[in-house]
Amino acid sequence: MLYPEIVIVGCGNPLFADDGLGPAVIEELNRLQLPDNIKAVDGGLGAPHFIFTLIDQAVTKKIVIIDIVDFGAEPGSLTKLAVEDLPPGSYRDAHSWDLTEPLQRLKDSVEITIYGVQPKRVTAPDMEIGLSEEVQKAIPKVVQHVLTEIGVDYGATIVS
Amino acid sequence: MSKVVEISPTTRHEGHSKLVLKVNDEGIVERGDWLSITPVRGVEKLAVGKTMHQVPKIASRVCGICPIAHTLAATEAMEASIGCEVPEDAMLLRYILQCANRLHSHALHNILSLPDMYLPGTDTKINPFSPEEPVRSVALRIQRLREIGQTIGEIVGGEAVHPSNPRVGGMYKNISPLAKQKVYDLAKEGRKLAHEQSEFMIAVFRNFQKRDWAEVAGRQVPIPKDLGYHNQGYMAAAPIYGSSSLDEHPTWFPERWTEVRPWDWYMGEEEITLEDKDYPVGGTTPAGEKAWPQMQACTGVPLYDGQPVEVGPRARLVTFKNYDEKGAIGLQIARQMEYEATCYGMIEAVDALDCSGKVIADEIPQGDGTLGWAANEAPRGCDVHLAKVKDGKVRWFSMLVPTTWNFPTCSRALAGAPWELAEVIVRAYDPCVSCATHMLVVDEDKRIVAQKLLE
């Protein structure tokens, strides 16, 4: 079994500045000791075809996705989205697969939550390593929200 | 009088590319240009000055489709430059990783090529997502093969997508005897499925070859017997794994490689004079617009012995197994013939693996700036990385990815085919137009989610 009951996926490319937020959050989460039924995966650039299309709906009950989202707020702001909020074709996977398509297939049997952080700088197609200060500062609060979402409370995860 | 038609973007493959086709009155392609329009990304520049341990990790992030191939090629290019010999057990682990990657990739490509094909004996195109038999059980088998490839990749590579276990000098960790058993069991299960899957796919492709027509945009388009033939030659470094400049007998030769600019290769500016609103998806580019391939192409044109060559499954089979079938379908069938070899490869490698053997070299030299290269046979073809490492830092780095080789070759293979089938030829190459851009835009005028702001 590839993916357990709860899967946390950080999407993005660290070579395009703030696009690296997803993998950075996963790195933080993996420093913690998460219960066995939870897996935090650095989806990198391949989440739709390496993860979302390989989810076993009989096993996985919850998916939490972390990514940058341009929703016109201040850089570093956090928003929570559902699959319905993603308009079709808003993001195309490298294999010309719509990100929302595999998620649409899953959403009736799996609970899907998306945490999006407003980026300040996405340098694509130019490469730059490192998050902007605003987005870097958003990491702890994303971690808090994700831990609350998956019901893990180590005493450090209280959200005001 | 020839006309010009443009299909942009091409679909059901990785990345962003387009086709500019000059066709005659019968709709047969006289000259085809298939080009990448994914912007140049400059990983080579980014790598300069980074440590030799960082660069393979960076290379892995260039593409989300074959991160394993890029990690292995870049790691071994560093090792080739510094002259570091890797312990045998580490090489076995890399070999398993390579096979797992190929197994997953070929299975994924089945889903992408099936919609062009017909159920044998019928005029029904295959929808891989259909709940009806016999397609359903094929789809389930493809899923299981992908799962097997990914699970083994994760066990050996350390992570699901971008492998963390390979490092300059070997691997960070060996696997446990329990993990070894698991890999063995999975590969054994996969071998049987891979055999069934390759038989099925070959039957489907052979059936397409026997057909007289294929339906595109509501028309019956005749299928020529020489669909996708070209005379460009092949390049492959190994049947499964690869070669590097450390080898006693290297099988890739940097001195045979040259490169020309797209300006010198592709067509000049053309006005589009033929359009088809019914062509999937959403029609071709409207007539009257301009296409300028030599300006728009984003990749250089690599040449081997002065001409473009094909890389990929057929190139490997032609070079090492006396395979000789030409054309788009010949390439598809070659890919299916590699299926089982990936599982046998894993079974043999895991059998030879000593779980308590060391997987990292005792000494890792820091490099003196020598040119080192590694050619890794990625699922889509030979992926060559070249590097110069001095004092542990990368001074120069270059990546020659498989589809860069295939672009000009496949462009030649388009001539002689009806333009409606050009994408069938392109998809046979399983193109990997590295495309790492990635961002969600929720709403054009950014209204809906502003209310859902959390913090």
Residue A108 lies in a domain: yes
Residue B451 lies in a domain: no
CATH number at B330 reads 1.10.645.10
- Reading phi first (left if > 0) and then psi (alpha if -120 to 50, else beta), residue B316 is in alpha
Residue A107 lies in a domain: yes
Distance of CA A114 to the CA centre of its chain: 6
Distance from CA of A147 to the nearest CA of B (A): 15
Whether A11 sits inside 8 A of B438 (CB atoms) is: yes
Residue B448 CB neighbour total at 10 angstroms? 13
* Cα B303 to Cα B314: distance, rounded to the nearest angstrom: 18
* SS3 (DSSP) at B405: helix
Q: What percent of chain B has pLDDT over 90?
A: 74
Residue A48 lies in a domain: yes
Amino acid A94: pLDDT = 44
Residue A143 lies in a domain: yes
Residue A1 lies in a domain: no
Distance from CA of A157 to the nearest CA of B (A): 15
Whether A50 sits inside 8 A of B161 (CB atoms) is: yes
| Residue range B22-37, pLDDT digits in tens | 999 999 999 999 987 7
Tens digits of pLDDT across chain B (455 residues): 789 999 988 877 766 788 999 999 999 999 999 987 765 566 777 889 999 999 999 988 887 778 899 999 999 999 999 999 999 999 999 999 999 999 999 999 999 899 999 999 999 999 988 888 889 999 999 999 999 999 999 999 999 889 999 999 999 999 999 999 999 999 999 999 999 999 999 999 999 999 999 999 899 999 999 999 999 999 999 999 999 999 999 999 999 999 888 888 889 999 999 999 898 877 889 999 999 888 887 777 889 999 999 999 999 999 999 999 999 999 999 999 999 999 999 999 999 999 999 999 999 999 999 999 999 999 999 999 999 999 999 999 988 888 888 989 999 999 999 999 999 999 999 887 654 333 444 444 444 444 455 65
Q: Provide the token pair at A84.
A: 């319905």
* Cα A59 to Cα B363: distance, rounded to the nearest angstrom: 45
Whether A2 sits inside 8 A of B450 (CB atoms) is: no
Give, as one character, the DSSP assignment of residue A51: I
**Domain with A52 in it:** 6-149
Instruction: Give the best residue of A15, A64, A77, A121 to mutate against chain B (max B CB count within 10 A).
Output: A15
Beta strands in A45-138 (DSSP E): 62-70, 78-81, 111-117
Instruction: Give the best residue of A3, A27, A50 to mutate against chain B (max B CB count within 10 A).
Output: A50
Provide the sign of the torsion angle of the four alpha carbons B417, B418, B423, B428, taken in this order: negative
Distance of CA B391 to the CA centre of its chain: 33
Residue A158 lies in a domain: no
| Residue range B232-242, pLDDT digits in tens | 999 999 999 99
Beta strands in B8-114 (DSSP E): 17-23, 29-36
Q: Are B88 and B357 in contact (CB under 8 A)?
A: yes
Q: Provide the token pair at B90.
A: 């580490």
B454 interaction partners in chain A (CB closer than 8 Å) = 77-80, 145
Q: Provide the token pair at B278.
A: 């019914």
Beta strands in B108-200 (DSSP E): 166-167, 170-171
Residue B117 CB neighbour total at 10 angstroms? 21
Whether A94 sits inside 8 A of B435 (CB atoms) is: yes
Distance from CA of A94 to the nearest CA of B (A): 5
Whether A15 sits inside 8 A of B436 (CB atoms) is: yes
Residue B448 lies in a domain: no
Residue A15 lies in a domain: yes
Distance of CA A101 to the CA centre of its chain: 16
Whether B455 sits inside 8 A of A67 (CB atoms) is: no
B42 interaction partners in chain A (CB closer than 8 Å) = 125-127
* Cα B237 to Cα B269: distance, rounded to the nearest angstrom: 37
Residue A114 lies in a domain: yes
**Domain with B202 in it:** 41-259+296-408
Provide the sign of the torsion angle of the four alpha carbons B441, B442, B443, B446, taken in this order: negative
Whether A94 sits inside 8 A of B61 (CB atoms) is: no
A129 interaction partners in chain B (CB closer than 8 Å) = 46, 58
Q: Are B287 and B274 in contact (CB under 8 A)?
A: yes
Work out how many domains chain A is built from and give that number: 1
Distance from CA of A113 to the nearest CA of B (A): 13
CATH number at A117 reads 3.40.50.1450
A137 interaction partners in chain B (CB closer than 8 Å) = none
Nearest in space to B438 (alpha carbons), one of A69, A108, A30, A142: A69
Work out how many domains chain B is built from and give that number: 1
* Cα B398 to Cα B405: distance, rounded to the nearest angstrom: 14
* SS3 (DSSP) at B260: strand
